[in-house]
């Protein structure tokens, strides 16, 4: 029984750990445009949607007697074309996230070097140095990255709780009263991406011995923990930073800067910069390794140092080139990753697959998500709305 409770809690931490990262640097700025209370309502909506689709993936997972990955599940439920589309959107998702993280690394580190050491180094050079240094860790493999990541996650936690402890008593309640519903839909892609842990469902199921009810509890508990952390983070930033002004939320967003820039207050500022750095590095390492393993599996290359070096270049060079070419693309890259890639991969595809499995192929198991066709249609409507909104925003950005 103790082992079961230990694994249940461990699974919740895995869910929350996969969500909490560099996406937090965009979250309170984009949602802050609409205001605290509207953003909390959307945060709850996004949490409910992504938790629902993760439970759909759990239902899909329960159809199979052996461990399968998401691509295999989509192929069986929707066919080979769907598997190919999933593969492509996975690549877009990983590369978009890496573009965002590399872009943010240049902003964060170059600003720190300029203000703290008086070294005005170009963002492009800082981004390239960041990729080179941490790319070596990625090349060395998961073992080395795991050891580094433990220290980085410890630093992330210390900085976050230090910010909360120092900042919450200074929150201005008047700042939380700002509301502008015209910005509401702008934050949906970032919110969806911030609850993206669905690729872990097969691993969680295996970790909890295919006990579907325990996996369900893990998903619900992990999502609730993520919601609490995000709510606290939004309360902190929106309660300390006004909407207007040269260092306000709107100005920060217009410049394409991330959240730590806004928290340039005595005692809080250093922890905010530390939090931003640790969040970027931990997310960069995790997404780079995941993309490398994904490409390795898809390309079926032999595991040799030369091929691993080539795989590292394929993983890191394209997003570096893109981030250097468009240095202030952080929010656009995050929006594309969340509003298009994540919505299709973790929203639309699971809904279609479960509909096909349940009502066309008559697949069933001991676990089924509540709501029937009505809940699937409602979730599909929300996913399509977010997708169309992001397509419209992307089109306006490039036209």
pLDDT tens sequence across 146-201? 788 888 888 989 999 999 999 999 999 999 999 998 898 888 999 999 998 888 88
**Stretch among 65-69, 276-280, 291-295, 338-342 having the lowest mean pLDDT:** 65-69
For 193, list phi and psi in degrees, rounded to 5. -65, -30
At 2 the pLDDT is 47
The residue with tokens 């697959």 is: 353
At 145 the pLDDT is 84
Cβ–Cβ under 8 Å, residues 7 and 204: no
The pLDDT mean for the chain works out to 88
Other C-beta atoms closer than 10 Å to the C-beta of 94 total 21
- Smallest Cα–Cα separation from 38: which of 201, 221, 181? 181
Angle at 33 between CA 252 and CA 112, to 5 degrees: 20
Average pLDDT over residues 196-218: 84
pLDDT tens-digit map of 1-25: 444 666 788 788 878 877 887 788 8
- Provide, rounded to the nearest whole percent, the portion of the chain with pLDDT above 70: 97
- Smallest Cα–Cα separation from 98: which of 271, 291, 276, 360? 291
The residue with tokens 């070097």 is: 113
Answer whether CATH 3.55.50.30 is correct for domain 2-398.
no
Within 13 Å of residue 136, how many CA atoms lie on the same side as its CB? 5
Residue 75 Cα distances to 52, 62, 229, 297, 300, angstroms: 21, 15, 35, 16, 19
> pTM for this structure?
0.88
**288 Cα distance to chain centroid:** 13
């Amino acid at each position: 029984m103790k082992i079961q409770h230990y694994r249940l809690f461990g699974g919740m931490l895995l869910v929350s750990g996969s969500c909490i990262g560099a996406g937090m640097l965009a979250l309170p700025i984009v949602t802050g445009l609409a205001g605290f209370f509207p953003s909390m309502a959307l945060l709850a909506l996004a949490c409910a949607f992504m938790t629902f689709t993760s439970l759909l993936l759990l239902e899909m997972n329960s159809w199979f007697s052996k461990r399968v990955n998401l691509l295999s599940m989509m192929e069986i439920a929707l066919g080979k074309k769907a598997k190919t589309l999933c593969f492509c959107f996975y690549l877009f998702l990983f590369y978009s996230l890496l573009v965002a993280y590399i872009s943010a690394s240049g902003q964060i580190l170059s600003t720190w070097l300029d203000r703290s050491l008086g070294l005005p180094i170009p963002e492009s050079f800082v981004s390239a140095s960041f990729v080179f240094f941490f790319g070596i860790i990625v090349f060395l493999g998961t073992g080395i990255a795991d050891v580094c990541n433990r220290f980085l996650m410890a630093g992330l936690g210390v900085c976050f709780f230090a910010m909360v402890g120092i900042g919450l008593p200074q929150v201005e309640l008047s700042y939380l009263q700002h509301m502008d519903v015209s910005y509401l839909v702008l934050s949906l892609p970032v919110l969806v991406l911030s609850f993206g842990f669905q690729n872990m469902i097969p691993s969680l199921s295996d970790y909890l011995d295919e006990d579907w009810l325990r996996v369900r509890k893990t998903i619900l508990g992990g999502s609730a923990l993520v919601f609490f952390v995000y709510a606290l983070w939004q309360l902190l930033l929106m309660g300390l930073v006004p909407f207007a002004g040269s260092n306000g939320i709107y100005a920060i967003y217009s410049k394409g800067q991330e959240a730590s820039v806004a928290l340039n207050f005595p005692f809080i500022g250093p922890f905010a910069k530390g939090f931003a750095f640790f969040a970027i590095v931990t997310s960069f390492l995790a997404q780079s390794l995941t993309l490398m393993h994904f490409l390795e599996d898809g390309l079926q290359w032999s595991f040799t140092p030369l091929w691993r070096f080539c795989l590292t270049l394929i993983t890191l060079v394209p997003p570096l080139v893109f981030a250097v070419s468009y240095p202030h693309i952080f929010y656009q890259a995050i929006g594309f990753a969340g509003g298009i890639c994540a919505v299709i991969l973790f929203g639309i595809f699971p809904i279609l697959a479960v509909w096909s499995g349940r009502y066309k192929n008559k697949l069933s198991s001991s676990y089924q998500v509540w709501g029937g066709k009505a809940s699937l249609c409602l979730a599909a409507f929300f996913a399509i709305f977010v997708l169309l909104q992001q397509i419209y925003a992307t089109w306006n950005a490039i036209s």
